[in-house]
């Protein structure tokens, strides 16, 4: 079963961009035995300028009926409110202490666009480089290429691993993204995945088609279809997988959104759970 929180993050970040909402707490509940039961809780801490400085997630222990530490990410900010670096830690129950997982370091251009994102891991000897993403933008400030590199533990050098290129429509909306993997044997980029966006006359995203590159052709994989309410906010998001045997789309999941009077999300209801922002 997919974790509901990751499906939610996928929906918001990848497809919907529903509202620019700064929540203090996200409560995730799962439908179990005809009742809503706690599953996960995410809590944000803000500085005096409204910037997120800490993100914490707790998991619900149904036996003891208490929230237990899970993950925590602390952000150190630059003077212009961009993130300088972030450190993520996980809670070790046996040792009753936080353990370093990874550190993310960022660099920016004059417009605050992320140029590089370096990931370091703590393997017991301090922080060591693990991967890096380098972004390129066009003159309009739109992301046109993102190259991911991974550390080769044999040579201790960063090597190309993935690449995503982005194209845009004349109105500035994203048309398509194509992901590729680096083939060291042929020394060339090979197609992996492609996402194509469809919009209505108001530039609202209505569909995302995801395809895999198989046997030198693009093959349907997933599809997300969005509908909106009269206020222009996402009402439903339907997710489908492609059935190659029947050559038809098969429903897999659906999100239903409700909103507060100010347009902020009141609740996200899914087939197997719900999310309540506060």
What is this structure's pTM?
0.87
CA-based torsion, 277, 252, 34, 1: positive or negative: negative
Longest dimension (CA), the chain: 57
For residue 7, give the H/E element and its range. Answer: helix 4-10
Q: Say if CB 142 and CB 168 are below 8 A apart.
A: yes
Distance, in Å, from the CA atom of 143 to the CA atom of 195, rounded to the nearest integer, reads: 15
Q: Residue 143 has which token pair?
A: 């992301």
Q: Region 174-199: what's the mean pLDDT?
A: 96
Distance, in Å, from the CA atom of 1 to the CA atom of 31, rounded to the nearest integer, reads: 13
Q: Say if CB 70 and CB 59 are below 8 A apart.
A: yes
For 274, counting Cβ atoms within 10 Å of its Cβ (0-12 exposed, 13-18 middle, 19+ buried), the class is: buried
Distance, in Å, from the CA atom of 179 to the CA atom of 163, rounded to the nearest integer, reads: 6
Q: Region 1-28: what's the mean pLDDT?
A: 50
Q: With the CA atoms of 225, 229, 4 and 244 taken in that order, what torsion angle do they form, in degrees rounded to the nearest 10?
A: -10
Q: Which residue has the tokens 């507060």?
A: 260
The predicted structure's pLDDT at residue 9: 38
Distance, in Å, from the CA atom of 273 to the CA atom of 32, rounded to the nearest integer, reads: 9
Q: Say if CB 152 and CB 158 are below 8 A apart.
A: yes
The 3-state secondary structure of 164-222 reads: EEEEECCCCCEEEEEEEEEECCCCEEEEEEEEEEEECCCCCEEEEEEEEEECCEEEEEE
The predicted structure's pLDDT at residue 274: 87
Q: How confident is the model at residue 34 (pLDDT cuts 50, 70, 90)?
A: confident
Q: Residue 117 has which token pair?
A: 């994102």
The predicted structure's pLDDT at residue 123: 81
pLDDT-above-90 percentage for the chain = 75
pLDDT-above-70 percentage for the chain = 92
Q: What does the DSSP 8-state code read for residue 245?
A: T
The predicted structure's pLDDT at residue 124: 78
Interval 217-244: pLDDT, tens: 999 999 999 999 999 999 999 999 999 9
């Amino acid at each position: 079963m997919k974790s509901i929180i990751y499906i939610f993050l996928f929906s918001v970040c990848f497809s919907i961009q529903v509202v620019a909402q700064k929540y203090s707490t996200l409560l995730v509940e799962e439908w179990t035995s005809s009742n809503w039961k706690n599953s996960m809780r995410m809590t944000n801490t803000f500085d005096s300028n409204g910037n997120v400085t800490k993100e914490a997630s707790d998991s619900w222990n149904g036996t003891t009926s208490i929230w237990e530490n899970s993950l925590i990410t602390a952000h150190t900010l630059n003077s212009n409110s961009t993130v300088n670096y972030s450190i993520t830690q996980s809670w070790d129950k046996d040792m009753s202490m936080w353990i370093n997982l990874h550190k993310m370091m960022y660099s920016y251009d004059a417009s605050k666009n992320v140029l590089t994102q370096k990931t370091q891991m703590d393997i017991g000897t301090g922080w060591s480089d693990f991967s890096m993403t380098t972004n390129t933008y066009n003159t309009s400030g739109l992301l046109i290429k993102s190259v991911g590199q991974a550390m080769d533990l044999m040579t201790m050098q960063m090597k190309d691993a993935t690449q995503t290129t982005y194209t845009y429509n004349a109105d500035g909306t994203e048309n398509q993204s194509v992901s590729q993997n680096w083939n060291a044997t042929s020394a060339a980029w090979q197609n992996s995945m492609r996402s194509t966006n469809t919009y209505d006359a108001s530039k609202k995203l209505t569909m995302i088609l995801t395809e895999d590159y198989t046997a030198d052709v693009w093959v349907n994989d997933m599809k997300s279809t969005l509908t909106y309410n009269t206020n222009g906010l996402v009402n439903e998001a339907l997710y489908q997988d492609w059935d190659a045997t029947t050559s038809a789309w098969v429903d897999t999941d659906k999100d239903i959104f409700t909103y507060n009077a100010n347009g902020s999300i009141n609740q996200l209801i899914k087939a197997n759970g719900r999310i309540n922002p506060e």
